[in-house]
Amino acid sequence: MFESLVDKFSGIFKKLRSKGKLSPQEVESILKELRMVLLESDVHYKVAKDLINRVKERAVGREVLESVTPGEMVIKILWDEIRKCLGGETQNLNISALPSFLLLVGLQGSGKTTTCAKLALRLKRQGHFPLLVSTDTRRPAAKEQLKTLAQNAQIDFFDEPDATSPLEVVKKARVFARQKSNDVVIVDTAGRLHVEEMLLAELRELVEQESFQETLLVLDATTGQEAVKVAKSFEEWVKPTGIILTKVDTDARGGAVLSIVSQTGWPVKLVGTGEKLEQIETFHPDRMASRILGLGDTLTLIEKIEKAIEKESEEKLVQKLKKEEITLNDFLDEIKRLRSVSSFEEIVGMLPGNLRSNLSMVDGEKNLKKVEAIICSMTPQERQNPSIINASRKKRIARGSGTSIQEVNKLLKQFEEFKKLWKQMHKGKFSPLRKRGIFGWKI
Ligand SMILES: Nc1nc2c(ncn2[C@@H]2O[C@H](COP(=O)(O)OP(=O)(O)OP(=O)(O)O)[C@@H](O)[C@H]2O)c(=O)[nH]1
């Protein structure tokens, strides 16, 4: 995600951190570089210009020049301004009504149908009773797609085959939801190839006659500036209450997020981070700013790890941690469990750079197999206490697992990193982390 932005920023940040003091000329030249990075990453020129001007205003003032670490201060200001550009505060979905109706609109292929199912599954896991409704009266295939997704995720589905308009379907869905006691109704709409007037008129009729707690515009992040144009043209017909940005996982440039929020003024409420139904997240401007700048989205990562560890095994793990008894078997179990929640790539991507490179070996299916093979080639005593593994044993383990001594060493090093991460988590290192924001981790 955002590889291009992250790479370029990291070069500039390296320079910034190496400076003891910054002269106004140096600040000026760094801001120019930052502006170029934003432009190259598809951020609209006006958005980039305004953002850099705000950073400049704050950076060339006393805030930076009298600071002990001026470089870090510039990064902090940039992070803060990007966070504001992304909407500032996290905006949650409005699902206070009973039932709450959420309407999803967008272009064909934007990921709307998948997102409806993702959202339903997420709400179900939070204890809600969602109902998925398809209103595409023209394309049976679209209905089938949603129906299949609903069946797979065991979510209630409603469809009215004889209906001739989305309005008719939604009216009937309202009655159905009441009978079935569904508390959130997610309505999928026909995907438009481009902005087609007839379909949009149908949508307008729907939002004028039915009440929706949310009208969410689904936008494909990879389409960059095009997404802003799509947003503007939808606005003439329906007034979205928020945006769901999909495919941010494949958005290498990352500029679209910034442009979309600052140019529409609508909050991004959720982001799609992969094709799997679990891959949807609340959009947190502060965490997204950290991701864009490559500072590591530590908080989201921690939430994921916390979710991944089931209650029971957590208890066990805590006891083991206290007694310093974590073994390589636990390590293997943990990687497998984390992978079931999210792709490891995604997890590793959210770590700050220093931890990221240390955990690269456990990234990817092929590597996981290697890790498993290495651990399985060890004796139970070695798995319990890897410090007893000497050079000749390493050679044998490497031979037994079809790997190399370097790979065995790398795995042992990563095991130590993992232990550190776990410890930090269980020592409740997160509340200070939250308070201290991006500098909680030594970046
Ligand atoms: N990588 C990635 N792919 C996604 C994401 N969300 C959806 N997709 C993929 O995008 C493609 C289009 O998704 P759909 O849900 O069919 O899109 P749609 O907007 O409903 O399209 P129509 O049903 O044709 O209107 C599918 O292959 C999805 O798996 C995401 O967050 N990340």
- Residues contacting residue 199 through CB under 8 Å, at least 6 positions apart: 190, 192
pLDDT one-digit tens code per residue, 72-119: 677 778 888 888 989 988 999 999 888 999 999 998 889 999 999 999
Give me 370's structure tokens.
Answer: 């290697």
Residue 272 in contact with ligand 1 by CB distance below 6 A: yes
Closest CA to 118 of 176, 193, 186, 181: 186
CATH number for the domain formed by residue range(s) 3-85: 1.20.120.140
**Residue 223 Cβ < 6 Å to ligand 1:** no
- Alpha-carbon distance 268 to 94, whole Å? 13
Q: Does the reported pTM lie above 0.90?
A: no
Domain at 300-440, CATH from 1.10.8.60, 1.10.260.30, 3.40.50.720, 3.40.50.150: 1.10.260.30
pLDDT, tens digit, 9 for 90 and up, residues 181-223: 899 999 999 876 655 677 778 888 899 999 999 999 999 988 8
Mean pLDDT, to the nearest integer, of 325-341?
A: 69
For ligand 1, the distance from its centroid to the CA atom of residue 111, given in whole angstroms, is 3
How do 280-282 and 130-134 pair as beta strands?
Answer: unpaired
pLDDT of 165 above 50 = yes
Of 231 and 158, the structure prediction assigns the larger pLDDT to 158
Mean pLDDT of the region 116-130:
91
In this prediction, residues 29-51 reach a mean pLDDT of: 87
Task: Give residue 290's identity as a one-letter amino acid code.
Answer: S
Q: What's the 109 CA to ligand 1 centre distance in angstroms?
A: 5
Averaged pLDDT of the chain: 79
DSSP 84-120: HHTTSS-------SSSEEEEEEEBTTSSHHHHHHHHH
| Calpha distance 9→38 (Å, rounded) | 9
| pLDDT level of residue 355 (50, 70, 90 thresholds) | low
**pLDDT by residue (tens digit) across 406-433?**
989 988 887 887 777 666 655 554 333 3
Quote the ligand 1 centre to 115 CA distance (angstroms).
Answer: 7
Mean pLDDT computed over 367-381: 83
C-alpha 42 chain-centroid distance: 20
Residue 319 assigned ligand-binding role: no
Percent of the chain with pLDDT over 90: 27
If pLDDT is split at 50, 70 and 90, which confidence band does 323 have? low
> If you measure from the C-alpha of residue 272 to the centroid of ligand 1, how many angstroms do you get, rounded to a whole number?
9
Fold match, 100-284 / 300-440? no
Sequence spans of domains, the chain: 3-85, 100-284, 300-440
- pLDDT higher than 70, residue 133: yes
Question: What tokens appear for 360 in the block?
Answer: 């690269």
Residue 298, annotated as binding a ligand: no
Structure tokens at 253: 């440039």
List CB contacts of 104: < 8 A, sequence separation 6 or more.
112, 115, 116, 119, 186, 187, 188, 189, 216, 218, 244
113 lines ligand 1 (CB under 6 A): yes
**CATH code at 100-284:** 3.40.50.300
> What pLDDT was estimated at residue 424?
63
The protein residue with its alpha carbon nearest to ligand 1, atom 14, reads 111
Q: Quick check: CB of 142 below 6 Å from ligand 1?
A: yes
What residue type is 148 in one-letter code? Answer: T
Instruction: State the pLDDT at residue 422.
Output: 63
Q: What are phi and psi of 272, to 5 degrees?
A: -90, 130
